[in-house]
C-alpha cells in the first residue's frame, strides 16, 4: 500500500495516449496530454499493469493524482481514474505476483528521441523514440548517455528486446549517435588488485 493518501494530492487531467514498458516488457507508466500542454510521462508501478490495460485506451480522458520529483518532468502516480470512473490505487504488489514470460531477442533501433523516460524518483532510465520504440537503460549507465537520451537527440541502440501488444522495448547494451558508432553502456569492471602475500601481511 502506498504511504501517501491520494486525496491530499493535486489531480492532473489529460488524454491517454500510450503505455510505456519496462525492460521486462511490463507496463510501468503511460503518456498523457493535458489540455493545452505538452505530453507528460506518468509513472505507475508494474503491478498495476492489468488494471491499467483493462481500463485505459488511446484517446480516453484520464485523471492522475501523484507526486512530482524535483529532477524530472514526471508524475509518479498514486491514484489513476479512468474515463469510466474506475479508480486505480497503488495498494502494493501481490505477494505471488510473477513477471510475464516474454521472448527476448537481440534488437536494434535508430531514430530521434521524443521524450526522456524516468524512474519514480526522477532518475533517468531511457527514452521514447519518435517511432514508439522504448529504450531502457540503468540509472548509473544513463548518466553517461544522458545527451543521447534527451528530447530531439539522434540515437541508436542495440540490446535485449521484446515485442508486446503495447509496443517494442529494448534493454540497451550498446548506444551511440548511429548504428555504426555504438559503444557499450557499461564500463568494464576494474581488475581486482593483487592480494598482498603472506610476508607483506606479516610486516
pLDDT digits (tens, 9 = 90+) for 185-194: 976 566 555 5
Domain 104-184, CATH: 2.40.50.140
**Contact 66/118 with Cβ under 8 angstroms?**
no
pTM score of the predicted model: 0.86
Residue 80 CB contacts under 8 Å (≥ 6 apart), including other chains = 42, 44, 48, 52, 56, 62, 63, 64, 65, 87, 88
* pLDDT, tens digit (0-9, with 9 covering 90-100), for 112-139: 999 999 999 999 999 999 999 999 999 9
Backbone torsions φ then ψ of 86, nearest 5 degrees:
-70, 120
Cell of 98: 510473477
Helix (H) or strand (E) holding 186: none
Residues 65-85 have a mean pLDDT of 93
Domain 6-89, CATH: 2.40.50.1010
Which of 20, 29, 25 has the alpha carbon at shortest distance from 104?
A: 25
**Contact 108/179 with Cβ under 8 angstroms?**
yes
Paired residues of 109 in beta bridges:
157
- Range from 83-87, 154-158, 181-185, 186-190 carrying the lowest mean pLDDT: 186-190
The sign one gets for the Cα dihedral 81, 54, 48, 20 is: negative
Cell of 41: 510521462
Residues of the chain with CATH 2.40.50.140: 104-184
Residues of the chain with CATH 2.40.50.1010: 6-89
Amino acid at each position: 500500500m502506498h504511504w501517501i493518501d491520494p486525496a491530499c494530492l493535486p489531480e492532473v487531467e489529460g488524454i491517454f495516449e500510450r503505455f510505456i514498458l519496462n525492460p521486462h516488457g511490463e507496463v510501468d507508466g503511460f503518456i498523457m496530454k493535458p489540455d493545452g500542454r505538452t505530453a507528460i510521462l506518468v509513472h505507475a508501478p508494474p503491478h498495476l499493469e492489468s488494471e491499467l490495460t483493462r481500463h485505459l485506451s488511446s484517446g480516453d480522458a484520464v485523471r492522475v493524482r501523484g507526486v512530482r520529483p524535483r529532477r524530472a518532468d514526471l508524475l509518479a502516480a498514486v491514484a489513476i481514474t479512468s474515463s469510466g470512473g474506475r479508480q486505480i490505487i497503488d495498494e502494493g504488489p501481490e505477494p505471488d505476483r510473477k513477471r510475464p514470460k516474454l521472448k527476448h531477442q537481440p534488437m536494434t533501433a535508430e531514430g530521434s528521441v521524443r521524450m526522456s523516460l524516468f524512474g519514480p524518483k526522477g532518475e533517468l532510465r531511457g527514452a521514447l523514440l519518435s517511432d514508439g520504440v522504448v529504450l531502457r537503460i540503468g540509472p548509473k549507465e544513463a548518466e553517461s548517455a544522458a545527451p543521447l537520451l534527451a528530447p530531439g537527440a539522434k540515437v541508436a541502440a542495440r540490446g535485449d528486446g521484446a515485442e508486446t501488444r503495447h509496443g517494442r522495448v529494448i534493454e540497451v547494451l550498446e548506444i551511440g549517435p548511429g548504428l555504426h558508432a555504438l559503444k557499450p553502456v557499461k564500463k568494464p569492471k576494474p581488475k581486482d588488485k593483487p592480494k598482498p602475500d603472506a610476508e607483506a601481511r606479516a610486516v
